[in-house]
Amino acid sequence: MPAKIAPSILSADFGHLDRDFQMINQSQADWFHVDVMDGVFVPNISFGFPVLKSLQKVATKHLDVHLMIVDPDRYIADFAQAGAQTLTVHYEACTHLHRSLQAIKAHGMKAGIALNPHTPVDVLSDIIADADLVCLMSVNPGFGGQKFIERTYDKIKALKALIERENAHALIEIDGGVTLENAAALHQAGADVLVAGNTVFGSANPVETIAELKRRTQ
Ligand code: DX5
Ligand code: ZN
């Protein structure tokens, strides 16, 4: 199965959001990746519902929303209303993760779990069957354009083994520092979804860069 490519709009030009949304619509990208940060869980504040709702109006692709916020349960219904189709919460931000995943699904969305770089994959053994997606952070969350943490390859393999052992169906998503150079190796290691911010939006021709990411992960 080819990898899904999910450009992160965190790296878009916020002065020309509509142009960048349309660029993704017209490209070979599979998903929009939407990073919501609260300045508490991570040391940065990104954007919230108004931006997501504007995207919802024009997006022709799946909206993959990554919450880097504390106590995400408070906003699950609002994110469903704002158009999120996959809603990913951080393992480190949820005291009752099982309940959070059930609530996400009850609102008609796919439920994802994100793990910070220091969190071992093993903590998911009793919840993996309930997840539609696991997002392995391959940088410390908060900012685009950071360097990929190489240890992630081992985590992909461990996660893949866990998914197979538990007969689970979760997609493996890699978020942070994905480049044209490492995309193929990540896909080969078992990644199903590659998020790319700086690699896409920092390139001279984003549509062509998305196509190249796609080509390298067939
Ligand atoms: C990081 C975000 C990522 C970020 C990735 O906290 O979750 O989705 O946008 O950006 P790049 O691809 O530039 O590392
Ligand atoms: Zn993200």
Listed by start position, the domains of the chain span: 4-216
Of 213, 153, 157, nearest to 183 (Cα)? 213
Q: Give the pLDDT band (50/70/90) at residue 143.
A: very high
- How far apart CA 158 and CA 143 sit, in angstroms, is 26
Nearest CA to ligand 1 atom 10: 144
The CA-atom distances, in angstroms, between 22 and each of 4, 79, 149 are 18, 22, 31
* Whole-structure pTM value: 0.98
Catalytic residue among 20, 30, 130, 175: 175
Say how far apart CA 135 and CA 172 lie, in whole Å. 6
pLDDT digits (tens, 9 = 90+) for 41-92: 999 999 999 999 999 999 999 999 999 999 999 999 999 999 999 999 999 9
Say if strands 133-137 and 171-175 run parallel, antiparallel, or are unpaired: parallel
Tell me if residue 33 falls in helix, strand or coil.
Answer: strand
Examine the residue annotation and report whether 175 is marked as an active-site residue of this protein.
yes
Contact between 191 and 24 (Cβ < 8 Å): no
Only one residue has tokens 């929009």, namely 32
CATH of the domain spanning 4-216:
3.20.20.70
Q: Token digits for 12?
A: 């878009």
CA distance 75 to 51: 15
Measuring from each residue's beta carbon to the nearest atom of ligand 1, which residues come in under 6 Å? Answer: 8, 10-11, 33, 35, 66, 139, 141-146, 175-178, 195-199
Give the residue, out of 5, 10, 138, 210, with the most ligand 1 atoms within 8 A of its beta carbon, to mutate for a pocket test. 10
Q: What is the pLDDT of residues 169-209, one digit of tens each?
A: 999 999 999 999 999 999 999 999 999 999 999 999 999 99
CA–CA gap between residue 2 and residue 140 (Å, rounded): 26
- From 20, 35, 64, 130, active-site residue: 35
State residue 201's pLDDT score: 98
State in Å: Cα 114 to ligand 1 middle.
13
β-partners of residue 62 are: 31
